[in-house]
A and B are shown apart, each in its own frame.
Chain A
């Protein structure tokens, strides 16, 4: 299985999209090229505001601009949008429900920058913040279309965004839709709910799993809040053996927790297995290394299915090894950590 690899899908797309939207402004905290808005800055210099390494102030400035009718799009790494300036995010932006777009890069373990750069609890934190919409993209088509989803929301939006080399998994003419999952396969043994980069990871293992006679109902979720898509309750209700969630995030408070809430509220008694970061911090290492170490990879999905079924599926490492491994030295790599 291989997908088209799109280099920097956000960069040119966001420039073209912004052309006829004069109220769209970009604020950046010294990670402009790293967040693929360096060319945007050079294209629209009057609409670009460099805020320096001062994120608390940046959140406030964005709030003031939004109160005046501008639509600020903040670009920096995820951790610097919600972790460092959380009070400013809540009191200056979220309480007044202002249309501020928080475009967070390097979600989860997608950075070798270590614990300081790894947003592993951002969804948990921001799901708990009233008025927030929380989105996460899983491929280049969603990178391109998430901006329309966010733009349509008259309130604050947090986006877990991807950069650099991004696979195109979903057809270009099937854009992201708010609060609507993509059903990637239909089945009734396992309900599998995945998000972000974990969808592509799951798709590596799924053909091997289904070849062995396991039917999987697979939903790709790109809206973490609100989380009221009826497809989710329908899928988890139908699963005979287990519900499995898979996320590039702590298992506390993210997709797995959201699915657990839906199951409990709907009295779905099927066992739930949450694949994700198991309430631990990570460290500086490659994405592939961390995914294996933390149990986020395709092998972890195979193991979860085996446990749910109570039998081995006999899937070899060689079969799983057709992984697309991101070359961190590729030409499409963003410029800096």
Chain B
């Protein structure tokens, strides 16, 4: 049983989304750089996931990010993951696996907004010896796989979901993905496998922001028609406005017996229209001048009003 529509506070999700944009912009201003467009595009998606669409337990109090403990080694050495920020495992709770590790800053902001990660954790971002890494890995808050080499989380989540099904667990397994990952062949291998095994407990929610490092995806390598392709692979596909919180909740609660894909089409400058002037190259925001920085500072002041 997942949460019902009525159990989810929609206004809180909007607050979380606004908080994500505000925190990421603040961080970007203070560090002269950040993955800002990813925050603008995915704020409502992550707001939904952490705001109740994924049924994750909440830690009793926000957790401090640990220092980097060392790399994992045989014998269970350093095998703890950032999934602890998702409140621990239980058979009936959902799991959330974050695939595009470049969204780390946005994920950290979402964790802070939902009381899972300490308010000051972003001070550790990209600092030597910290787990609050620029490209998240499995020791980073909110992560439980190492997927900076993109498109590897879906396969691992299939393994997780198959193992959970073997144990008769009722919780769903969610994977947050980016649309660029549908350029990788492994994604299609995984979609095929989830369908073959009728993994109806598996859900992907995709930030279809149609942008990637080199620019607009349709100039780099087109993936459309994405919904039709995934549907042809045997999935239930919901094509959505990624800023429509009610629509995302409805799609997550819809009936269905197949693995489910929520394709959330998003605006990479939503909430920060100033960034439109940098289009189409939006992958990473670094200010070109003090004047530009001042204009973003002004936008931040508008946000915190």
Contacts and interface: CB of A to CB of B under 8 A. Distances in A.
Given A51-B193, A52-B192, A64 B156 contact: yes
Contacts of B189: 52, 54, 56-57
Given A91-B147, A91-B149, A61 B76 contact: no
B227 interface: no
Interface residues of B, number: 38
A96 B159 contact: no
A67 B159 contact: yes
A60 B160 contact: no
B156 to A, nearest CB: 4
A307 to B, nearest CB: 40
Contacts of A96: 72, 79, 138, 145-146
Contact of B155 (A46, A61, A155): A61
B186 A60 contact: yes
B123 interface: no
Contacts, number: 117
Contact of A97 (B74, B145, B163): B74
Contacts of A56: 155, 185-186, 189
B39 interface: no
Contact of A154 (B75, B154, B160): B75
A65 B163 contact: yes
B77 interface: yes
Interface string A57-100: 11111111111111010000000000000011001100111000
A75 to B, nearest CB: 16
B152 interface: yes
B186 A88 contact: yes
B190 A60 contact: yes
Given A52-B193, A52-B196, A56-B189, A64 B74 contact: no
Interface string B70-103: 0111111101000000000000000000000000
A156 to B, nearest CB: 8
Interface in B134-179: 138, 144-149, 152-164, 166-167
B235 to A, nearest CB: 15
A94 B197 CA distance: 25
A58 B158 CA distance: 10
Contacts of B77: 97
Contacts of A66: 159
B164 A68 contact: yes
B71 A95 contact: yes
Given A52-B192, A57-B189, A59-B155, A155 B160 contact: no
B150 to A, nearest CB: 10
Contacts of B72: 95-97, 131
A153 interface: yes
Nearest to A46: B166
A56 B191 CA distance: 12
A130 interface: yes
A131 B74 contact: yes
A243 to B, nearest CB: 30
A60 B154 contact: yes
Contacts of B79: 96-97
Nearest to A72: B159
A58 B156 CA distance: 9
Interface in B115-145: 138, 144-145
B193 A61 contact: yes
Interface in B38-82: 71-77, 79
A68 B186 contact: no
A97 B196 CA distance: 28
Contacts of B147: 91
Contacts of A88: 152, 155, 186
A179 interface: no
A235 interface: no
Contacts of B71: 95, 130
Contacts of B155: 56-61, 63-64, 88, 92
Contact of B192 (A54, A65, A68, A92): A54
B159 A154 contact: no
Contact of B160 (A46, A64, A87): A64
Nearest to A132: B74
A199 interface: no
B135 to A, nearest CB: 12
A158 to B, nearest CB: 13
Q: Which 3 A-B pairs have the closest CB atoms?
A: A64-B159, A60-B155, A155-B74
29 contacts: A49-B162, A49-B197, A54-B192, A54-B193, A56-B185, A57-B158, A57-B189, A59-B155, A60-B159, A60-B186, A61-B159, A63-B155, A63-B156, A64-B160, A65-B163, A66-B159, A67-B144, A72-B159, A87-B149, A88-B186, A91-B148, A91-B152, A92-B145, A95-B71, A97-B72, A97-B74, A97-B79, A131-B72, A154-B75
